[in-house]
Amino acid sequence: MTAPASDQPVAPGEAAFGVDIGGSGIKGAVVDAVTGELRTQRVRIATPRPSTPDNVAEVVVELVTRAKWSGPVGATFPAVIKRGVARSAANVDESWIDTDVDAVFSKATGLEVTVLNDADAAGIAEVRFGAAKGVPGLVILLTFGTGIGSGIFLDGQLVPNSELGHLELDGHDAESRAAASVKDKQKMSYKQWSKRVQTYMSHVEALFSPDLFIVGGGVSKDADRWVPLLNLQTPVRPAQLLNNAGIVGAAMAAVERGAD
């Protein structure tokens, strides 16, 4: 699946290549660092099985090579990432745990690669170009998919690796009750599922008192079917960048690392 892209050329210093690594697919495109727009078609390759470091690195190399890209690269990863090292592994092979993901991808591509948590990357995109642009105070992005990802931002600055999907709720890991995958698996209607989301988000709201919630993931495209059913004190906005958020946020992280 691809997304529309502009044909306008972008100088290397004004762009980066973004890679979004998920449990089922790995997507990549060149991103304009000024506007957040994709400047090449988004390319998707199925996540290899097993999703070991060598196998995933091969896909990242293929994406970069197809784009004929030779500048900075940013990559999302479904894990807690500390100084480029994976401290967990969600929906990828467990051999990634304690692996220097930055180093693996940088060596494979021959380029400088910046790796960050996938939900953090989506949040960066929404703060820079989407639903949270210009919003002061505390913003929490929650992505509802296979699990629940989270990104926390204070006055636009990322607080990384929050993992709010793993809060304990009613004796359960929260994402095991309120992830979008649970809705699909249990064949729940949006009305039924929204009650679980309400319980979960009320808990997050009580802990953090945010100024804004952003809700993302595949179900954000149907936000009008469930967000109005929520009863929270905090405003809730659907994510705007949808499937491009991870790619854009990863690219922005690479650009900002290069500017340091």
Q: Can you give the pLDDT at residue 2? A: 36
What are the tokens at 74? 């940013």
* pLDDT for 259: 60
Domains annotated on the chain, with CATH: 12-120+244-259 (3.30.420.40), 134-239 (3.30.420.40)
Write out pLDDT tens, residues 150-170: 999 999 999 999 999 999 988
Q: How far apart are CA 259 and CA 245, in angstroms?
A: 21
Is the preceding peptide bond at 50 cis, omega within 30 degrees of 0?
Answer: yes
Q: Tell me, what's the pLDDT at 71?
A: 95
Helices (H), 130-220: 175-178, 180-185, 190-208
β-sheet bridge partners, residue 81: 86
For the chain, which ranges sit under pLDDT 50? 1-12
Euclidean distance between CA atoms 255 and 168, whole angstroms: 36
Which tens digits make up the pLDDT trace of 29-50? 999 999 999 999 999 999 999 9
- The candidate with the shortest Cα–Cα distance to 18, out of 145, 111, 100, is 111
Query: 114 vs 19, 77, 102, 202, 213, CA distance in Å?
Result: 10, 10, 6, 34, 26
Residue 9 phi/psi, 5-degree rounding, is -70, 150
Res 91: pLDDT: 78
pLDDT confidence of residue 146: 84
| Tokens 């090292």, residue located | 85
> What is the C-alpha separation between 220 and 259, in angstroms, rounded?
32
Query: Which pLDDT score is estimated for 159?
Result: 96
CA gap 166, 200 in Å, rounded:
11
User: Are 83 and 73 contacting, i.e. CB atoms less than 8 angstroms apart?
Assistant: no
Query: What was the pLDDT predicted at 258?
Result: 64
pLDDT score, position 4 = 38
